Amino acid sequence: MNNVSLIGRTAIVSEIAPLAADANTDSEDLRQLIAFVGYRPNALFTMAKRPGLLDAVLGLVRVTVRGDGQLSEGLRFLIAAETSRAAGCRYSAAHAAHAAAHAGEPEDKIAALPAYQSSALYDAAERAALAFASVGGELPMRPAAAAFAAARIHFPEPALIEILGVISAFGWFNRWNSLNNSDLEAEPAAFAQRIGWLQPEQFMRRKA
């Protein structure tokens, strides 16, 4: 296990510790991701202990949430944050919300994510995408036909595939990080402290 750290008032101990801080990998995708977010993601450096796993996961990240696409990178990270929030995974939600800020989404908009259906900061297309993300993050999953139908009003099929891809990719991260109790790093933790819905007690309530 790794060392205990305090995030808010919660002590976090990962079940499997990441590679040591001085460990390196030869992954160009990982180097680019670290340059984008500004820190060394513990979850990814835990995956790096299994040969081939990190590259496979980073490839999925590259084609779902990073780079060019039908949707802006910021919206894709908001979708990732909402599906992680619905799944009850604070680590993944904090990472995605922090990345959305790096991608240019305003902090007040990120803070209003739980109220996306009524907030003036979100337009109709974003609301449809985030409603789809909410359905995708819940277990047991509700029927998705209504969410698909609402999203189809605003998005062509290639964009729907992107939304579905982000939700599904973060299904992986939500399971990994919730099961392993991944330790939230200082940078996203500091960001999370400014966002009401990312406080630890919000996620403890959801699990109660």
Structural domains in the chain, sorted by start: 73-207 (1.20.1290.10)
Single-letter amino acid, residue 1? M
pLDDT interval class at 135 (50, 70, 90): very high
Q: What are the b/e assignments for 130-156, b being 16+ CB within 10 Å?
A: bbbbbbbbeeeeeeeeebeebbeeebe
Rounded to two decimals, the pTM is 0.89
Of how many residues is the chain composed?
208
Tell me which residue of 171, 170, 173, 137 sits closest to 46, measured CA to CA.
173
Residue with tokens 């998005």: 155
For residue 78, give the nearest of 32, 120, 114 by alpha carbon.
Answer: 114
Residue 55's region, left for phi above 0, alpha for psi from -120 to 50, else beta, is alpha
DSSP H or E stretch at residue 11: strand 10-12
pLDDT surpassing 50 at residue 5: no
Angle (deg, nearest 10), helices 157-180 and 73-87: 50
Q: What is the largest CA-CA distance in the chain?
A: 49
> Side chain identity at 65, as an amino acid letter?
V
pLDDT, tens digit, for every residue of 144-177?
999 999 999 999 999 999 999 999 999 999 999 9
Q: Which amino acid is at 164?
A: L
Taking residues 90-106, what's their average pLDDT?
Answer: 97
Alpha-carbon distance 44 to 56, whole Å? 11
Mean pLDDT of all residues in the chain?
A: 89
Residue 12 has a pLDDT of: 62
Could you tell me which residue, 110 or 21, shows the higher pLDDT? 110
Distance of CA 63 to the CA centre of its chain: 15
